[in-house]
Structure 1
């Protein structure tokens, strides 16, 4: 069997081709994978080794084995058979393109969902599921297919890579990214976030940073969802009623004219506070929160201030994905590696599904140990999953369940200390380079016509 042949793979473990990652089926069932392929019309009809049924699992594995090129990902997924050659890289890339991104998008919608229950420690506030919206940017390869995303710019000109802007809905208590949208560097977060509103759970307490607020958004959301949003200190309010906890009722308007004429105002509750510790970021600045939780006795101001700061859990989600799940490496200088538009979309959804698998296992482990999932290390859990996946024996259900129970127990032991009372100054430290920036004109240079020796000209 050669690397590019069309013969089927021999499957020896209950029909599984990629038998070294069978453990993923405990979180992503084969039935849902098949449904995603059916829903998108991607079932394989041709005789081929690398069917779409095989390739969707390869792409899912790419979201976990992010340090490996695609051919090595395949090797990590299938046990060694003497005399069987692995598919060539070109065959795998073509098969990945044939699969496309639609099945990954469909699978994400079938699999990824909020998992917290009212018994999940730290996931609810007074019966409301804590959900956050925030955004991040990801570097994409500097190729022609990604130039439409645009680049960041500053005093030294444009950034080195096209950048993808991603906005995510996260269940803060479990760190599960259950919905996201993306666009280019120049796409506004305020505009992108509108595509996420249909995914907000009915029982959510939606927590947003001040960059997402607008009157239009508040008007559309406040009657259906409970909101807790930081707002700019420059906004003008006319207090209607002060409460003993320091908060007050006021109205928010579309513009100054509407406020002066008291038209189209929406009743809100405003909480203003300062920080008196000089070591903390935002010391002595006015911080403002706005909410439609109007009752100060049922929802005290100090509780809401503390709950707003749970929004930082979403920043940790982005750290988990960018720093630990898919860290920078010498051979991969960008967050994403796909050099086609559809491949990049496929990669984003595979990464999110891989993150969900780890987080679902961590939640299972935390529930069994009766601890807050925040006390478990994402990095440690991620490495345990990758290490233990090849050990899974799916030959019968008893061994399969024993493997899963052992992995969950091992993750439950991967505990970290309670979070320190720490500070994080908003600073960066990057080395300036004396070299010119790499730009598209530097790619695809014409072949040299002379050898090095032929170019040498003696001065004397």
Structure 2
């Protein structure tokens, strides 16, 4: 049976709902052009659908997962019509869109995430985003479903199931998130069975001195710790409860100093390379589903500067990253589980466009939180998604001059 082209409904155009100029505030057109030039995929002459428009188009795809490719283009191309003095943007075919997406590929979108997704909070207006002058960030991974196409299955793989494998191939991603603002600061994508640390290694350069990075139990091996600590960031990572961590010195707040060692080395060599860590053990009495004991490792060795009780309470902010995955999968994509793209390269492209669209919504929300001196949690992510959709791009998707600050909302 032939598929029905998805539209927004009678009388509604995507162009009436998407502020492409906001996407240009997050990823300025001059930066997009520079990245496209660097990857040798920019348009060399004026076209009805130039590569810079195609790049914003990749961001817009996740904002309108229910709409056809051509309808999403109608939103992004409003800026082109404005620049040309035309009443309506040019129309393009689905094949033209696919051709341009293939020409652009994934690398420019990945670089735009690296260049444009910067921390948002500052200590003056949002002190809750920091602890002891350290910016709170967290790392974690998740997976999502892809179209059941042969290339996607071959590249990303299926999760296992009792019947052989699941119905859709899946990809696995790792993200680094600013806890208070939910801004994604970095992301990487790989096959479903990718080692999470291997995915995160590309993001390690994003850890900086002045950050406190929180992570779950998967990242506390010696080499993980050594590489992350070398970035200059402070670490607060959960550790498995049965790991052998001998008490070297008890501290006055109940925590203690220990050491972690490289494996597969002789005792003397391992001792020489040992890294001193502080261990914090605590329980959460009275809370359902809590474990008998939690254990954290940290580079913050001074119990006076960072008391154990404060760090144990602080670690709960790592779970903000779960809310980020919910925003990505549920609220931004409107519960549509499967991405659109049918090839591995375009899956990667769509993923990084998805991350940039999420960052644009979070950037918009941050403006309201800053202006009204509110915590980010007091504002509605979903409300700002709707605001982004209905704001008309009066200044065009690719403004010839600096656009006005987008309207913000408080809910």
The answer to whether the aligner puts 1:366 opposite 2:366 as a matched pair is no
Paired position in structure 1 for 2:98 = 93
Tell me if the contact between 1:23 and 1:392 (Cα under 8 Å) persists in the aligned partners. no
Name segments (4+ residues, structure 1) moved above 4 Å: 78-85, 255-263, 390-400
Deviation at 1:274, TM superposition (A): 1.3
Counterpart Cα distance in 2 of 1:247 and 1:363: 36
Tell me if the contact between 2:158 and 2:170 (Cα under 8 Å) persists in the aligned partners. yes
Higher alpha-carbon deviation: 121-130 or 104-113? 104-113
The size of the alignment, in residue pairs, is 385
Paired position in structure 1 for 2:273 = 264
Deviation at 1:312, TM superposition (A): 0.6
Counterpart Cα distance in 2 of 1:380 and 1:181: 27
Q: Deviations over 1:183-239 (max 9, x none)?
A: 111111122222221121221111110012211111233353211110000011221
Structure 2 residue runs without a partner (length 5+) = 1-16
Counterparts in 2 of 1:398 and 1:25: CA distance versus 1, 3 Å:
closer
Structure 1 residue runs without a partner (length 5+) = 1-17, 415-460
Paired position in structure 2 for 1:21 = 20
Counterpart Cα distance in 1 of 2:88 and 2:99: 24
Deviation at 1:257, TM superposition (A): 8.2
Normalised TM-score (structure 2): 0.86
Counterparts in 2 of 1:168 and 1:83: CA distance versus 1, 3 Å:
closer
The answer to whether the aligner puts 1:225 opposite 2:233 as a matched pair is yes
Tell me if the contact between 1:19 and 1:78 (Cα under 8 Å) persists in the aligned partners. no
Counterpart Cα distance in 1 of 2:104 and 2:186: 22
Structure with the greater alpha carbon radius of gyration: 1
1:366-405 aligned at under 5 Å gives the runs 366-390=369-393, 401=404, 404=405
Tell me if the contact between 1:240 and 1:248 (Cα under 8 Å) persists in the aligned partners. yes
* Equivalent position SS for 1:129: strand
Counterparts in 2 of 1:198 and 1:53: CA distance versus 1, 3 Å:
same
Tell me if the contact between 1:259 and 1:265 (Cα under 8 Å) persists in the aligned partners. no
Higher alpha-carbon deviation: 353-362 or 102-111? 102-111
Counterparts in 2 of 1:386 and 1:286: CA distance versus 1, 3 Å:
same
Paired position in structure 2 for 1:457 = none
* Equivalent position SS for 1:298: coil
The answer to whether the aligner puts 1:111 opposite 2:119 as a matched pair is no
Q: Deviations over 1:13-39 (max 9, x none)?
A: xxxxx9962343333322212212222
Deviation at 1:66, TM superposition (A): 2.6
Tell me if the contact between 1:248 and 1:269 (Cα under 8 Å) persists in the aligned partners. yes
Give 2:311's match in structure 1, choosing from 293, 304, 314.
Answer: 304
Tell me if the contact between 1:133 and 1:167 (Cα under 8 Å) persists in the aligned partners. yes
The answer to whether the aligner puts 1:41 opposite 2:40 as a matched pair is yes
Deviation at 1:75, TM superposition (A): 2.1
Paired position in structure 2 for 1:248 = 256
Paired position in structure 1 for 2:173 = 166
Higher alpha-carbon deviation: 188-197 or 20-29? 20-29
Q: Deviations over 1:231-273 (max 9, x none)?
A: 0000112212222321111122235986798553322111111
Q: Deviations over 1:414-457 (max 9, x none)?
A: 2xxxxxxxxxxxxxxxxxxxxxxxxxxxxxxxxxxxxxxxxxxx
Deviation at 1:364, TM superposition (A): 1.2
Counterparts in 2 of 1:122 and 1:74: CA distance versus 1, 3 Å:
same
**Aligned residues: CA RMSD:** 2.8
Which structure's relative contact order is higher, taking Cα pairs within 8 Å and 6+ residues apart?
A: 2
Paired position in structure 2 for 1:356 = 359
Normalised TM-score (structure 1): 0.77
Paired position in structure 1 for 2:107 = 102
Counterpart Cα distance in 2 of 1:399 and 1:185: 41
